[in-house]
């Protein structure tokens, strides 16, 4: 009896481990994708809200 109980506990631990590993991998992929799709930050740009300059003033 104890042996089957040990196996079920090990199975649960393994499932938990695999789920955690899979979630960590997906989170890293998500951050990598965001890093690739965001525009590069260049000096002079401010963080946060962006202000639009009218075309007449841009020249």
Question: pLDDT value at position 50?
Answer: 58
Q: Name the pLDDT band for 3 (thresholds 50, 70, 90).
A: low
* pLDDT score, position 12: 92
| pLDDT band at residue 59 using 50, 70 and 90 as cut-offs | very low
Residue 48: predicted pLDDT: 57
Question: Quick one: tokens of 33?
Answer: 């994708």
Closest CA to 33 of 43, 25, 21, 45: 25
DSSP 39: P
Residue pLDDT, tens place only, 27-48: 999 999 988 887 666 666 555 5
């Amino acid at each position: 009896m104890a042996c089957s109980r040990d196996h079920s506990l090990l199975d649960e631990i393994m499932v938990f481990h695999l789920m955690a590993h899979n979630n960590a991998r997906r989170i890293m992929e998500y951050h990598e994708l965001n890093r690739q799709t965001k525009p590069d930050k260049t000096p002079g740009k401010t963080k946060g809200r962006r202000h639009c300059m009218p075309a007449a003033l841009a020249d």
